[in-house]
Amino acid sequence: METEDNGAAPIGTPNGKAKRSLKNLLIDRRFQLKYTLLVALLALGIAVVLGGLLYKELKDNTQVTVTSLTKDLAEPQLKIVEERMAARDTRALLIIIASLGGLVIFILGIGIWLTHKVAGPLFIVGRYLNDIAEGRFSQPRPLRQGDELQDFYDTFQSMVKGLSDRERADLDSVRAALASLATGSDPSSIQAAVATVVWSRAASIGMKPRPR
């Protein structure tokens, strides 16, 4: 998945405010542009059909008007009317084309803005997952106000906290075992501390601990 840094604060720093720009809005170009262009093309297709029907109706009305005036006006006057009505039709066509262009630009802007609210949280989650894969458990920062996937992100934060707490508990058990070993304590207490870590690790990957 093609991604770009959206200028968010580094992992572990809360509420970094990124400067709004097109580069910041296009966090995941492939995902955002794919669905934005899909919606824009769909809307453009519908608008072209409706605009074409409107223009055809306008041209038909012009033809009916010119035909009805044929018997009432002389040739020079009729020619002037035809030219004026043709100019009106041309202006209407240009307005329709400009409106279609404006509609596409508007939909592209709204689409990028809306998909940014989904791509942003996914981008942040991806960064934290990379850190977790490398053994770092920094506390996830809050999402920006207005971002989507808030419930999903809350669940993700709980998962990271659970992993961090387990790592901390295992580290405490290993430290206790080392301390017991250094002071020559009962081997059974050392064995129990090590077994706690082993069972915790085994459970995390779905293995059943062997009986003591």
Burial of 198 from C-beta contacts in 10 A (0-12 / 13-18 / 19+): middle
* Mean pLDDT for the chain overall: 76
| C-alpha span between 43 and 110 (Å, rounded) | 13
| C-alpha span between 136 and 157 (Å, rounded) | 14
| C-alpha span between 97 and 15 (Å, rounded) | 43
pLDDT of residue 29: 77
| C-alpha span between 78 and 81 (Å, rounded) | 5
pLDDT of residue 1: 42
Lowest mean pLDDT among 31-45, 119-133, 135-149: 135-149
Q: Is the pLDDT of residue 155 over 80?
A: yes
pLDDT digits (tens, 9 = 90+) for 44-102: 888 889 888 888 888 888 888 878 877 777 778 878 888 888 888 888 889 888 988 88
| C-alpha span between 203 and 210 (Å, rounded) | 11
Q: What's the DSSP call for residue 10?
A: P
Q: Are 34 and 93 in contact (CB under 8 A)?
A: no
| DSSP state letters, 22-77 | HHHH-SSHHHHHHHHHHHHHHHHHHHHHHHHHHHHHHHHHHHHHHHHHTTTS-HHH
Q: Is the pLDDT of residue 107 over 70?
A: yes
Give the pair of three-digit tokens for residue 56: 């055809």
**How far is CA 115 from its chain centroid?**
4
Give Cβ neighbours of residue 181 (< 8 Å, ≥ 6 apart). 190
Q: Are 59 and 89 in contact (CB under 8 A)?
A: yes
**3-state SS string for 171-203:** HHHHHHHHHHHHCCCCHHHHHHHHHHHHHHHHH
